[in-house]
Amino acid sequence: MQIKALGNSSIQVAPFVLGGNVFGWTTDAARSFAILDAFVDRGFNFIDTADVYARWVPGNKGGESETILGQWFARSGKRDKVVLATKVGVAMGEGKQGLSRKYILEAVEASLKRLQTDRIDLYQSHEDDQATPIEETLGAYAQLIAQGKVRIIGASNYSGERLAAAMETAEREKLPVYQMLQPEYNLHTRHAYETQLEPVVKKFGLGVIPYFSLASGFLTGKYRTKEDAKGAKREALVGKYFDERGGRILKALEEVAKETGAQQATIALAWLLAQPTITAPIASATSVEQLETLLAAVELKLSEAQVKQLTDASAY
C-alpha cells in the first residue's frame, strides 16, 4: 500500500480516509467501534470528522461523532495510530459559528475534550467565513500550532478565488498555510473542482481529500432510479444525481465492474485515486463488510482504458 504525505507536511497517511459523519447518525457507538478497530487493524490511519457531526439528527446538538471517536480512543488506546482530522466553522448553535479568532480558540478546546486527545493532526476550516479577515483566522491557527494543539491546517468548501487569497495572504504575512483541501469531488460532481480549485491546488502544492466521493451512495449502484432512493435517509442528497450524465456514469461503472470483478463503490474510489491531484478519498461505512469494499479501492489498479472510459462517461 502506497503511503502519501499530507500536503507539504511530514504527516504520512494511507490513501483512504474514513469519514466520521455517520458516527452518532446512522451508526451507533458499538458499530462505530467495530468499524474503527477494523480500519486501523487493516493498516489504515486517516480519520476525518467535524464538530458539527451529527447536529442534523433530531435530538442531537453536534459533537456526537467526535464524542464517539474520543470514547474509542480511550477504549482502544489507538490514538497514536491515527491521523485525526476535524473541522470548525459550521453553525453549532447561537453564536457558535465562523472562523473568528475567539470562536476558533473556543471551538478547538471543545473538540479536544470530546475527542479525549491533546492534539488535532489536521484542523480544517469547514466553510469560508468572509466576515472574518483571513489574517485573523490564520493567526488563530498559528497560536494553536505553536501550542502543539494542531499540527497542520486545511480548508473545505472554499471557492478557488478565496482559497488562492488565503494562500497568498499566508505567504505574505508569514502565517500558517492551508496544506490540505477538502472539496466535493466525485465522478458526477467534477466541474467546480477541476475548473476552479485544481489550478490552485497545483500552484500551491495542496493535498486533496474529497468528500462525497461516492455521491451520497449514488455511485455504489445501490440506487438505479429516483424511486429506488425513496425513503432512504439520503434521499434528498441522492436525487440530484439522477440525470442523463448519472445514467451514463452508472452504465460505465457497471461495465468496469464486470471487467474487474470489483464492486462499483470500489471502482468509483479507484477512479479518484487515479487522479493526479488526489491524496485520498473520504468515504464512510456503516458496517465492517461495507468498509472492506471501500478499502479495496487502494489495491484496485484501473487500466488507462478503464479510467478513460469512466472519465468520458462523466464528461460535463
What residues act catalytically?
53
309: three-class secondary structure by DSSP: helix
Report d(CA 239, CA 227) in Å as an integer: 9
Three-state secondary-structure class, residue 12: strand
Q: What is the dihedral of CA 26, 28, 34, 40, to 10 degrees?
A: 70
Determine whether 41 is exposed, middle or buried from the number of CB atoms within 10 Å of its CB (0-12, 13-18, 19+). exposed
DSSP bridge partners of 155: 125, 181
- Sheet hosting strand 46-48, strand order edge to edge: 207-208, 178-182, 150-156, 120-125, 83-88, 46-48, 17-19, 282-283
Query: CA-to-CA distance for 191 and 195, rounded, in angstroms?
Result: 6
Interatomic CA distance for residues 191 and 185, integer angstroms = 9
Cis peptide before 54 (omega within 30 of 0): yes
User: Can you say how many angstroms the Cα of residue 276 is from the centroid of all Cα atoms in its chain?
Assistant: 17
Determine contact, residues 268/219, Cβ cutoff 8 Å: yes
Q: Which helix (H) or strand (E) holds 110?
A: helix 101-115
- End-to-end CA distance of the chain: give it in Å, rounded: 32
Rounded-to-10 torsion of CA 109, 111, 115, 118: -30
Residue 274 near residue 246 (C-beta atoms within 8 A): no
